[in-house]
Amino acid sequence: MRFDGVADPTARGRVVMLVDNAVNGDSRVQKAARSAAEAGWEVILLGRSPVLEARSWSLGDAQVRLLPMPDPLARRRHEFRRAWLRWPLAYPPSGIAAHRAQAVKAWQADLAVRAAQLKLADPDTPRLALRRRLLAAERLAAQATRKWVSFRYWQLTRARTRRRFRNPWDRAYTLFWQAVKGDGAWRRLEPGLWDYELAYGPVLDELRPDLIHANDFRMLGVGARAKIRAAAAGREIKLVWDAHEFLPGLRPWQDNARWLPAHMAHEREYARYADAVMTVSDGLAELLQRQHGLATLPDVVLNAPAADHGEDLVPDAPAPDLRALCGIGADTPLLVYSGAAARQRGLDVMVDALPQLPGVHVALVVNKPTGPYVSGLLARAAKLGVADRVHALPYVAHWQVVPFLSAADAGVIPIHHWPNHEIALITKFFEYSHARLPLIVSDVRTMAGTVRSTGQGEVFRAEDVADYVRAVRAVLADPARYRTAYDRPGLLESWTWEAQAKVLDVVYRRLLPGRPRPVGDAAAGEPVARTTDAQPPAGVSG
């Protein structure tokens, strides 16, 4: 939805979007910022810099600013202490371990050079034999020192990694602060949330936005506190909370008993400050309304890909050739997975099935192609003798995703049964659909129901290799049958970001009526309670 101008320039609303990542790789946030700016809003997108220095660039008409964010509060207090009882020989957690390890390596490197020099020395060099014996003794000492340093470093690593927040004491600690502080318990259980406040809060106050668009649960608190401070100073800020996940159904991002209850408490404390809530699916909208007692059902903005990415982006950046990157020809069967790589995403089933699918290749287009999880998958593929048929590739730019994926024969979504997986059509679902790929999806509720309804793919039992193989064989036997589902009138049109951007703009205009107004749209400033024109056709759940 594009606007050619605003009648009253002084009425232009300033929107500050908040996200807890580095923006690149988050297609929903990028598209939202770009679309809002195209609609006439002054958009500044604040993200977290991956390094301790600020970065900035333009995203269409939107400004992107990445803020440096030190996170000392994210470290638990035990990480600063030595575990004397269990790991008495561990180095103190002060950084000295890495220093000592590097110093020993430097010592050994010097000894290697000195040994080479003595080997090249003139045989008549005085005391040459003695110098060689002394050097040999020093090399033994360096080797023993390195083993000792490695052992102490190992003890430090064990002290860090074996400490878990799931023992009775830590559970009691969590329950105590929940009882004493209620929803304020997050201040004790997850103080690292303050690191976001200290990085983003001062910048938000300086920008003096009319509207804050807070993406997900961490940014909700940052936006709410800015709204409270502005109200105390006599200024009004509207707060939009864009909930990407149902937090109670989320697998904790850290292996401890405090992470989930802390973030849930943080979300409950600040959810009431949101003037509008939007989310990614109808199912999640209903859950959020019940969870937080919302007066109205949240607006739904699907994670759909854009049909038009802007003329300034496309010509100089054609999508890479997926098959060329995999080193295969057009006739080789290719299955693709695109998205975050993690155990609950079920990628192991794609590798484990390859011995039963001769000639089939798998492309994993993931956020961390060299990360531990993907490295484990590649090691598993090597063990099974299929390493040459598994290809780990990095993300491409969000406007390149659909043409990039279209070179595959089918798109795979093998996610496990988790509450959040059951209720949404995730981003890759729409990306595969616009690439007109037959789908092979696990039997998570909403997605499986949609695929069965549209006929665009096959459903298999999650984590069941044999059933996955059945689904793959069915799709590869007759891919044209599944592709015809995309000829259904209105199906793909409703699954575009352009349709979703209309919902986003309606929410903004409802909160800030009259700023901005689209040229030639007489109803632009009228408040709308909730729009449904961007929802999938009958029989398709969003």
Q: What is the mean pLDDT of residues 79-107?
A: 83
Q: Is residue 523 part of a domain?
A: no
* pTM for the model: 0.75
Residue 54: per-residue pLDDT? 95
Q: Which residues have C-beta within 8 Å of that of residue 433, sequence separation ≥ 6?
A: 439, 456, 486, 491, 492, 495
Report how many domains make up the chain.
Answer: 3
Residues 384 and 477 in one domain: yes
Does residue 171 lie in a domain region? Answer: no
* Segment of 111-120, 344-353, 420-429, 485-494 carrying the highest mean pLDDT: 344-353
Say whether both 246 and 287 belong to one domain. Answer: yes
Query: Domain ends where: 452, 474, 493?
Result: 493
State whether 278 and 139 are in the same domain.
Answer: no
Q: pLDDT grade, residue 8 (50/70/90)?
A: very low
The predicted structure's pLDDT at residue 162: 66
80 inside domain? no
- pLDDT, residue 483, reads 96
CA 128 from chain centre, in angstroms, equals 61
Alpha carbons 20 and 23: distance in angstroms, whole number: 8
Between CA 245 and CA 279 the distance in angstroms is 8
Residue entry with tokens 């490295």: 375
Which band of pLDDT confidence, cut at 50, 70 and 90, is reported for residue 331? very high
Alpha-carbon gap, residue 93 to 76, rounded angstroms: 12
Q: Are residues 374 and 487 in the same domain?
A: yes
- Determine, yes or no, domain membership for 348: yes
Averaged pLDDT, 162-168: 62
328 and 475 in a single domain? The answer is: yes
Residue 180 lies in a domain: no
- 93 band by pLDDT with thresholds 50, 70 and 90: confident
Look-up of token digits 């995203």: 59
Q: State the CATH number of the domain containing residue 265.
A: 3.40.50.2000
Residues 329 and 430 in one domain: yes
Residues 339 and 427 in one domain: yes
Domain shared by 295 and 442, yes or no: no
Q: 363 and 241 in one domain? A: no
Pairing of strands 14-18, 410-413: unpaired
What pLDDT is attached to residue 311?
A: 43
Round to whole Å and give the CA distance between 184 and 178.
8
CA distances from 7 to 3, 11, 138 (A): 11, 8, 81
Comparison of pLDDT for 427 and 518, the residue scoring more: 427
For residues 399 and 317, the answer to whether their CB atoms sit within 8 Å is yes
Q: Output the CA torsion sign for 30, 31, 34, 36.
A: negative
Q: Is residue 187 part of a domain?
A: no
Q: Is the pLDDT of residue 64 over 90?
A: yes
Query: In this structure, are residues 420 and 245 in contact, taking their beta carbons and an 8 Å threshold?
Result: yes
Lowest mean pLDDT among 5-9, 99-103, 250-254: 5-9
> Is 316 or 199 the better-scoring residue by pLDDT?
199
Q: Are strands 211-215 and 55-59 parallel, antiparallel or unpaired?
A: unpaired
Would you say residue 309 lies in a domain?
A: no
Residue 433 within any structural domain of the chain:
yes
Q: Which domain holds residue 475?
A: 322-493
- Backbone phi and psi for residue 107, each to the nearest 5 degrees, phi listed first: -60, -50
How do beta strands 439-442 and 410-413 pair?
A: parallel
CA nearest to 486, candidates 494, 474, 478, 475 = 494
Q: How does pLDDT run across 441-479, given as a tens digit for each residue?
A: 999 999 999 999 999 999 999 999 999 999 999 999 999
Of 134, 157, 180, the domain-final residue = 157
**Within 13 Å of residue 126, how many CA atoms lie on the same side as its CB?**
0
Note whether 107 and 53 are same-domain residues.
no
Average pLDDT, the chain: 87
For residue range 278-306, what is the model confidence (pLDDT) as tens digits? 999 888 999 999 999 999 999 999 988 87
Q: What single DSSP character describes residue 329?
A: -
pLDDT band at 516 (very low <50, low <70, confident <90, very high): low
Q: Which of 157, 179, 203 is the last residue of a domain?
A: 157
Same-domain check for residues 461 and 358? yes
Q: Are residues 331 and 478 in the same domain?
A: yes
